[in-house]
Amino acid sequence: GTARNPGLGGKLMTTMFIALAMIEAQVIYTLVIALIIKKSKPLTALFIGTLLAGVFAVIFQPEIVMKIAGSKTFNFHSAYKGVMNAMTGSVYIPSGNEILDQNELFSSGGMKGMLSTIWLILCAMFFGGIMQEVGALQKISDSLLKVANSTFGLFASTTATCIFFNGTASDQYLAIVVPGKMYQKAFQDKGLAPENLSRTLEDAGTVTSIVFPWNTGGAYQSKTLGVSTYDYVFYAFFNLISPIMTLIYAYFNIKIRKLVSKKD
């Protein structure tokens, strides 16, 4: 133990932090996944998971909660302050391990760190809404659908538009929101269920963002992995094959769901 060999204190503390984090995370993940399987409301699942994480932190890691709160005593005020600081602001917990601290494993930006992403999503929604209201999206989609007026052509146009926005707008959210608004009515007119459009947006808009170095998705992956986008893109088989599989499924009419009328 640490008493017999004080030099191992840092390593033991790091191992303890990781073990506690894994135990807490497994319980929380299990509960949240169970709520998702039961098709609970997303807000309910997120709230319960967040609340449980705060309770577990207070019970199992009071010292860390006090450190985050900047308090020397553990009471209701310091516990509440520590949990809220961890949820909302930037938090850094030194582990004593040089490698872990260098990679900032025990650091988080909280809700504040997600604000840039939230603003980006809102901007994408506003942009898509404005384009839709002025009729620009409808005009663009009508022009594209004149060339490809079949079901396969609709899927191909949606796929190409998603990839185009990823390459030009340089953001994944725009590549999802804008084509989604553009082709929503076209899918309805073809008698296709909404999940067809949703799946196409995911297969072509979400996963292809990382293949563009100037896209926010590609820039993030490149920085996280520490390698150039051009180095990993040829190994991103799922991201490259996914749009192709969407087109193959559309061409052979595999699992293409139709709209079901209320009478049926």
Per-residue pLDDT of the chain (264 residues; tens, 9 = 90+): 455 655 555 556 666 666 766 777 778 878 888 888 888 888 888 888 888 888 988 988 888 889 888 888 999 999 999 999 988 888 877 766 666 666 666 677 778 877 877 777 777 778 777 877 888 777 877 787 777 778 999 999 999 999 998 988 878 888 898 889 889 888 999 999 999 999 999 999 999 999 998 888 888 888 777 788 889 999 999 999 999 999 999 999 999 999 876 554
Closest to 162 in 3D by CA, of 117, 123, 198, 110: 198
From CA 85, how far away is CA 27, in angstroms rounded?
22
Evaluate whether 165 touches 175 at the Cβ level (below 8 Å): yes
From CA 166, how far away is CA 211, in angstroms rounded?
9
Whether residue 125 sits in one domain with residue 238: yes
Whether residue 109 sits in one domain with residue 119: no
pLDDT of the residue at 8: 54
Point out the domain boundary residue: 113, 143, 170: 113
Point out the domain boundary residue: 113, 139, 163: 113
Helix (H, G, I), strand (E, B) or coil at 258: strand
pLDDT of the residue at 204: 94
Whether residue 119 sits in one domain with residue 109: no
Helix 194-201 × helix 151-168 angle, to 10°: 40
The domain total for the chain is 2
In degrees to the nearest 10, what's the CA dihedral of 229, 122, 205, 258? Answer: 170
Whether residue 96 sits in one domain with residue 14: yes
Whether residue 144 sits in one domain with residue 82: no
Hey, what are 71's tokens? 């308090």
Assigned domain for 106 exists: yes
Whether residue 120 sits in one domain with residue 103: no
In degrees to the nearest 10, what's the CA dihedral of 65, 95, 115, 70? Answer: 30
Half-sphere exposure of 171 (CA within 13 A, CB side): 16
Helix (H, G, I), strand (E, B) or coil at 55: helix
Whether residue 132 sits in one domain with residue 93: no
Residue 10, domain extent = 6-113
Whether residue 241 sits in one domain with residue 121: yes
Point out the domain boundary residue: 84, 113, 142: 113
pLDDT of the residue at 247: 95
From CA 75, how far away is CA 102, in angstroms rounded?
32
Assigned domain for 257 exists: no
Assigned domain for 263 exists: no
Q: Look at the pTM and tell me if it is higher than 0.75.
A: no
Whether residue 224 sits in one domain with residue 141: yes
Whether residue 237 sits in one domain with residue 146: yes
Half-sphere exposure of 57 (CA within 13 A, CB side): 23
